Amino acid sequence: MRTLMFVGLVAAAIYAPIASAAETEVEINGGKAPLKGSLLLPDGSARVPAVLILAGSGPTDRNGNSPAGINTDAYKLVAQEFAKQGIASLRVDKRGVAASAGAAAKEEDLRFETYVEDAGAWIAFLKRSVRTSQDSSRFRARASQLPKSFDANSARS
């Protein structure tokens, strides 16, 4: 009986829907077309810390899936775990990928700095969000790593 109860509890923990989070599709100005993402907020009305989840190289979407056949939802699962811990997350499709495909010019015209500027615009979006923490000291600590041309105060909205 104990084993059956333990298995049931483990299964419930693994497969339980996230009752403590709400996901919203969001977008920012991407120039040619919008850049799109998913904002996952824990339930409640209190301000919460937030993380920006950016996919690595290649055509990986906001959930961690690739048209090359990799379909793990890894980033989505990480976001759900953050929500369980009371942390908001923003997963985004990079310029030229998935729902943000229309925002890309020709691939050969894309530069690393373009993606850095897009990340900065998403950070500015998070800073303006109603429920995410307004403490931007952690972002400022990393701002020195951005290109000199990046200005967080005038990032695209």
Give CATH for domain 20-154: 3.40.50.1820
What are residue 96's phi and psi, to 5 degrees? 90, 0
CB 15 within 8 A of CB 62: no
pLDDT category at 134 given cuts 50, 70, 90 is low
d(CA 80, CA 18): 7
What global pTM score does this model have?
A: 0.74
pLDDT digits (tens, 9 = 90+) for 51-67: 999 998 889 999 999 99
The secondary element (H helix, E strand) that includes residue 67 is: none
**DSSP letter, residue 94:** P
Work out the average pLDDT over 95-109. 90
Q: Domain map of the chain by residue range?
A: 20-154
Q: Average pLDDT for residues 25-45, to the nearest whole number?
A: 96
pLDDT digits (tens, 9 = 90+) for 8-26: 333 334 444 444 689 999 9
Would you report the helix, strand and coil content of the chain in percent, each value rounded to 5?
40, 20, 45
User: Worst-scoring range by mean pLDDT, 18-22, 37-41, 98-102?
Assistant: 18-22
